[in-house]
């Protein structure tokens, strides 16, 4: 394992009260995989990645990164890891190439090697044309790729990315995903935090879902979704009828589970297409008008919902995302 954590915990004191940001989590990340750490804002993702990246010492637990026990072997670990924080870390006052060369030199490379490696990294990420530009003149996507280059310039064994695509448009996000996938091909282990469900689903070999400082589920995205199995049918019925509808649908023989959803309910069934007519008929008998129906395969959000009782997509939920839905919808 490249990253191993056993019962890793961290508390903070805030205005006289103690906040348990991370509560005894275990992590096992294999060499060369993309490992996603999924959860809403405030779940403990950043605290975890900062502990693994040597920025923060755990209060308790055993942590090993790239074969270095932390915090004892922090300095040795820093030679072997790269870190790209949420803010990116580009210095706006100096050209991109200068940013990279300094980072390479601080990681022990000589002058010539640092220049060569910086240019090679820029070429690998398609950033050669931006070498002499100031980061402040770049687009959000370009800045993120420069930030990635800063984390990679010394060819680390493990790269930590904290919300790497936060705030990017879908096109820029797709470009960054491709570059992160290329890292895996090159043998780099990537540990990334995200609250984008589709990012964890599309990019990661394995994910751990964190909620209130605890890991509630972990495994491959497909494996986790298999645990839910079947389809999810979302019925918009208005908030007034939600509870009545839940009570009625729970008793239908083909329904596995019913959960509250924004302005309606979410029904888990084996086969959504077959179930929809019966669901609509059932609601009709109750005198409830269905405003719209959505059908989708179980997603990581459903896994999150199952383990935490709340959705990452719920309005007001910490970290609710605005990403595109993958469901097909019907208006009743």
Q: Output 61 or 71, the one with its CB closest to other proteins.
A: 71
Cα 306 to Cα 52, 130, 135, 224: the distances in Å are 28, 45, 42, 11
Residue 68 near residue 77 (C-beta atoms within 8 A):
yes
Cα Dmax for the chain = 77
Q: Output 53 or 228, the one with its CB closest to other proteins.
A: 53
Output the smallest distance, CB 93 to other proteins, in A: 5
Summarize as ranges the residues that interact with other proteins (CB under 8 A): 53-55, 75, 78-79, 81-94, 98, 102-103, 105-108, 147, 150-151, 154
* Angle at CA of residue 55, ends 194 and 87, nearest 5°: 45
Q: Output 107 or 212, the one with its CB closest to other proteins.
A: 107
Question: What spatial distance separates the first Cα and last Cα of the chain, rounded to whole Å?
Answer: 51
Q: Output 54 or 194, the one with its CB closest to other proteins.
A: 54
Q: Are strands 17-29 and 3-14 parallel, antiparallel or unpaired?
A: antiparallel
Beta bridge partner(s), residue 297: 231
Output the smallest distance, CB 52 to other proteins, in A: 11
User: What gap in Å lies between CA 87 and CA 106, rounded to an integer?
Assistant: 20
Q: Output 75 or 181, the one with its CB closest to other proteins.
A: 75
Output the smallest distance, CB 56 to other proteins, in A: 9
Q: Give 87's contacts (C-beta < 8 A, 6+ positions apart).
A: none
Cα 151 to Cα 86, 100, 191, 201, 229: the distances in Å are 12, 9, 12, 23, 38
Output the smallest distance, CB 94 to other proteins, in A: 5
Output the smallest distance, CB 127 to other proteins, in A: 17
Query: E strands, 139-272, where?
Result: 158-162, 189-194, 206-211, 214-219, 231-236, 255-261, 264-269
Q: Output 82 or 230, the one with its CB closest to other proteins.
A: 82
Output the smallest distance, CB 102 to other proteins, in A: 5
Output the smallest distance, CB 154 to other proteins, in A: 8
User: What gap in Å lies between CA 208 and CA 77, rounded to an integer?
Assistant: 23
User: What gap in Å lies between CA 270 and CA 230, rounded to an integer?
Assistant: 4
* Helical (H) or strand (E) element with 226: helix 221-228
Output the smallest distance, CB 82 to other proteins, in A: 8
Q: Output 149 or 224, the one with its CB closest to other proteins.
A: 149
User: What gap in Å lies between CA 197 and CA 64, rounded to an integer?
Assistant: 27
Q: Output 49 or 283, the one with its CB closest to other proteins.
A: 49
Output the smallest distance, CB 91 to other proteins, in A: 5
Token pair 């959705």: residue: 311
Q: Output 65 or 255, the one with its CB closest to other proteins.
A: 65
């Amino acid at each position: 394992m490249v990253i191993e954590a056993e019962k890793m915990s961290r508390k903070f004191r805030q205005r006289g009260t103690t906040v348990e940001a991370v509560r005894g989590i275990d992590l096992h990340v294999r060499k060369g995989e993309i490992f996603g750490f999924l959860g809403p804002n405030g779940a403990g993702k950043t605290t975890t990645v900062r502990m693994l990246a040597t920025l923060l010492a755990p209060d308790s637990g055993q942590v090993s990164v790239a074969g270095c026990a932390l915090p004892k072997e922090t300095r040795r670990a820093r030679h072997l890891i790269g870190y790209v924080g949420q803010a990116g870390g580009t210095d706006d006052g100096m050209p991109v190439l200068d940013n990279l060369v300094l980072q390479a030199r601080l990681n022990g490379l000589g002058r010539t090697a640092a220049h060569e490696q910086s240019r090679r990294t820029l070429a690998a990420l398609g950033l050669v044309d931006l070498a002499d530009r100031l980061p402040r003149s770049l687009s959000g996507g370009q800045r993120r790729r420069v930030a990635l280059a800063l984390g990679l310039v010394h060819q680390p064994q493990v790269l930590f990315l904290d919300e790497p695509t936060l705030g990017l448009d879908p096109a820029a996000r797709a470009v960054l995903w491709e570059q992160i996938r290329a890292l895996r091909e090159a043998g780099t282990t990537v540990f990334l935090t995200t609250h984008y469900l589709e990012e964890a689903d599309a990019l990661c070999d394995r994910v751990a879902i964190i909620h209130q400082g605890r890991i509630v589920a972990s495994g491959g995205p497909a494996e986790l979704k298999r645990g839910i199995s079947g389809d999810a049918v979302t019925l918009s019925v208005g908030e007034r009828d939600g509870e009545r509808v839940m009570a009625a649908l729970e008793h239908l023989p083909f329904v596995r589970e019913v959960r509250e959803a924004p302005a309606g309910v979410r029904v888990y069934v084996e086969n959504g297409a077959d179930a929809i007519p019966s669901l609509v008929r059932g609601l009709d008998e109750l005198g409830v008008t269905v405003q719209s129906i959505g059908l989708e395969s179980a997603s990581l959000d459903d896994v999150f919902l199952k383990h935490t009782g709340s959705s990452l997509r719920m309005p007001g939920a910490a970290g609710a995302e605005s990403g595109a839905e993958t469901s097909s919808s019907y208006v009743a």
